[in-house]
């Protein structure tokens, strides 16, 4: 590992064998690590600088299963449930009701720390011994069994990282949506289909980066537009097609001539939108109301550096998908909601404070280190799947004085073998790498995973019970020609060749809005939408209008016309 020291930062090389990228650690970073370093028995235990680059650190935090759901049986009450863990898993899995009940004791699997062995090895064993919650769901759920990392939903199916939604299907990052299908980061929307990053919109189809738009098809980067088709970069417009202003009568006549229920027509219009985008300048980043920020999709943020998909965040770096008053945080993936003074965590928040190197800690938790799924817990180290607990180590109860004496000894042991300051390694993931979100953003081959000791899954779900299987290309082109019996068919995904089924709820939606039946599985459609967005990476390039340097998620070699914010605003307003 090579480190070059400079006045205000040091250059470091990522230790991952498949990476070896150079990255910087600034004096501000070192000050942050010092600020959040925990204190035990009156002594501060300094958090060392990271040994992995920001992307590889994010890769570790993404080694979780956000999308794949499986049939299972609760290991306590024995009822049939849906689980994030595939059949044959060694994990103990409880349904939501049993996990939150008093029928089991999370202290029962507790054990003493073995100083002759590494922390991560022992923690992986503990995690297998404590009952896991089958799905991560919160709030009142009505007819929404197939959702994950979600809460307070009604009549929803396969939506993830979603809250307060109704009649929604196949979505990621949905918040307060109604009757939306196939979307990515759509907030406060209704009757939207195949949309990405659309906020407060109604009746949009195949649109991206739109705000306060109504009744539009194939839009990109439009704000306050209504009754527009194939438009890019418009503001406060009505009755436009391909950015050309029409009368209401001409617009409605041209719209009526577009048979949106035809799959061929739908695909040709999506292709046409891509052609129109090449003539449109894009802003270097998406976001507004920002002060001293860098990244993309940032809203109401201050001092947020290299952050993405964040809202109401202050004093942050390398954070992703954090919302609602997160402050003094670094290297966090998901969710926020008044999360403070925390570092190197995945899916933590909700009035929680000082969470370090942990996953799934929330509901007013504080001072947790190296913990896994904790609710309303305080002062715990190396614990898993606990609630309302305090002063526990490896799920074993201690007095405050015993806790303060033992944790420093464990940290010293972790320091000796290079574990202190590192998040849970990929090698200890509960899921095959190919079934995790990490694989979508940072793909690895099975051979590479095996070489590096990273789990890989060969699990294949049983094929659906159907009357027949049909390749997607043989489906009728138009939805009006799709028979009701399609619900009893398996459609072969045109990309993966894996079979998938339509549900009655989604077929009703396609017919109601005259939309084509998809030819790709819902997992493939999600991946397609993910790659429609720019990568979470910043490059330096010149504004193509004024020439000044700017940071952007558009790589220099890309063909899009990219402007700095000042030039972009002059262009569209």
Transcribe 334-386 into DSSP letters: EEESS-EEEEEEEEEESS-EEEES-EEEESS-EEEES-EEEES-EEEES-EEE
Average pLDDT score, the chain: 96
| Predicted pLDDT of residue 4 | 33
- Residue 527 has, within 13 A of its CA and on its CB side, a CA count of 18
In this predicted structure, what is the pLDDT of residue 10?
86
CA distance 424 to 428: 7
Tell me the pLDDT band of 465, cut-offs 50, 70 and 90: confident
Q: pLDDT confidence of 8, banded at 50, 70, 90?
A: low
Helix (H) or strand (E) holding 409: helix 400-416
pLDDT the model gives residue 3: 32
pLDDT at 34: 97
How confident is the model at residue 90, as a pLDDT?
Answer: 95
237-275, pLDDT tens digit by residue? Answer: 999 999 999 999 999 999 999 999 999 999 999 999 999
Tokens in use for 254?
């041209």
pLDDT at residue 360 tops 60: yes
Q: What is the mean pLDDT of residues 172-196?
A: 97
pLDDT in tens, 368-390: 999 999 999 999 999 999 999 99
Using pLDDT thresholds of 50, 70 and 90, give the confidence band for residue 2: very low
A 10 A CB-CB count for 67 gives: 19
Enumerate the domain spans of the chain: 3-61, 161-283
Token pair 């003094």 in the structure block, residue: 328
Rg of the chain over Cα atoms, rounded to whole angstroms, equals 25
Q: Tell me the percentage of the chain whose pLDDT exceeds 90.
A: 96
3-state class (DSSP) for residue 552: strand
Contact yes or no for 390/379 (Cβ under 8 A): yes
pLDDT at 7: 42
**Please, is 78 exposed, middle or buried when counting C-beta atoms within 10 Å of its C-beta (0-12, 13-18, 19+)?**
exposed
The pLDDT of 97-106, averaged and rounded, is 97
pLDDT in tens, 35-48: 999 999 999 999 99
Residues near 102 by beta carbon (within 8 Å), at least 6 away in sequence: none
Residue 1 pLDDT grade (very low, low, confident, very high; cuts 50, 70, 90): very low
């Amino acid at each position: 590992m090579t480190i070059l020291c400079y006045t205000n930062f040091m250059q470091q090389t990522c230790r991952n064998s498949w990476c070896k990228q150079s990255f910087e650690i600034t004096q501000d970073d070192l000050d942050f690590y010092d600020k959040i370093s925990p204190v035990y028995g009156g002594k501060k235990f300094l958090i060392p600088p990271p040994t992995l680059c920001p992307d590889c650190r994010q890769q570790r935090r993404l080694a979780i299963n956000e999308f794949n759901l499986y049939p299972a049986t609760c290991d306590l009450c024995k009822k049939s449930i849906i689980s994030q863990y595939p059949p044959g898993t060694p994990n103990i899995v409880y349904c939501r009701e049993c996990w939150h009940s008093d029928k089991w004791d999370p202290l029962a699997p507790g054990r003493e720390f073995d100083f002759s062995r590494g922390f991560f090895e022992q923690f992986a064993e503990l995690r297998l011994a404590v009952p896991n919650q089958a799905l991560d769901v919160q709030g009142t759920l009505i007819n929404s069994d197939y959702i994950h990392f979600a809460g307070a939903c009604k009549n929803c199916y396969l939506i993830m990282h979603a809250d307060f939604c109704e009649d929604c299907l196949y979505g990621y990052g949905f918040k307060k949506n109604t009757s939306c299908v196939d979307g990515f980061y759509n907030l406060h929307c209704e009757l939207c289909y195949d949309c990405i990053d659309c906020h407060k919109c109604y009746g949009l189809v195949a649109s991206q980066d739109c705000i306060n738009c109504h009744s539009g098809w194939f839009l990109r980067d439009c704000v306050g537009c209504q009754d527009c088709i194939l438009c890019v970069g418009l503001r406060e417009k009505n009755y436009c097609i391909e950015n050309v202003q029409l009368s209401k009568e001409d617009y409605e006549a041209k719209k009526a001539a577009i048979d949106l229920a035809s799959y061929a027509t739908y695909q040709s219009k999506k292709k046409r939108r891509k052609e129109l985008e090449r003539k449109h300048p894009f802003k270097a980043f998406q976001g507004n109301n920002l002060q001293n920020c860098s990244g993309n999709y940032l809203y109401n943020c201050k001092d947020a550096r290299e952050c993405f998909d964040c809202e109401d965040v202050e004093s942050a770096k390398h954070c992703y998908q954090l919302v609602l008053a997160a402050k003094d945080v670094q290297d966090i993936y998901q969710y926020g909601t008044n999360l403070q003074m925390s570092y190197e965590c995945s899916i933590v928040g909700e009035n929680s404070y000082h969470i370090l190197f942990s996953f799934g800690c929330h509901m007013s938790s504080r001072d947790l280190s190296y913990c896994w799924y904790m609710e309303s817990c305080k002062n715990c180290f190396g614990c898993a799947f606990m609630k309302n607990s305090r002063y526990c180590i490896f799920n074993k109860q201690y007095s405050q004085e015993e806790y303060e004496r033992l944790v420093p000894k464990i940290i010293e042991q972790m320091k000796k073998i290079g574990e202190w300051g590192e998040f849970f390694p990929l090698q200890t993931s509960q899921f095959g790498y190919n079934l995790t979100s990490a694989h979508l953003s940072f793909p690895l081959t099975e051979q590479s995973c095996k070489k590096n000791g990273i789990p890989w899954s060969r699990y294949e779900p049983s094929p659906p019970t159907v009357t027949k299987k049909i390749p997607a290309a043989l489906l009728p082109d138009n939805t009006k020609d799709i028979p009701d019996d399609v619900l009893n068919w398996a459609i072969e995904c045109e990309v993966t060749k894996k079979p998938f089924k339509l549900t009655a709820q989604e077929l009703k939606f396609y017919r109601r809005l005259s939309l084509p039946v998809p030819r790709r599985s819902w997992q493939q459609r999600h991946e397609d939408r993910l790659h429609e967005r720019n990568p979470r990476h910043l490059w330096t390039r010149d504004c193509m209008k004024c020439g000044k340097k700017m940071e952007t998620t558009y790589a220099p070699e890309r063909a899009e016309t990219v402007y700095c914010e000042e030039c972009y605003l002059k262009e569209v307003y």
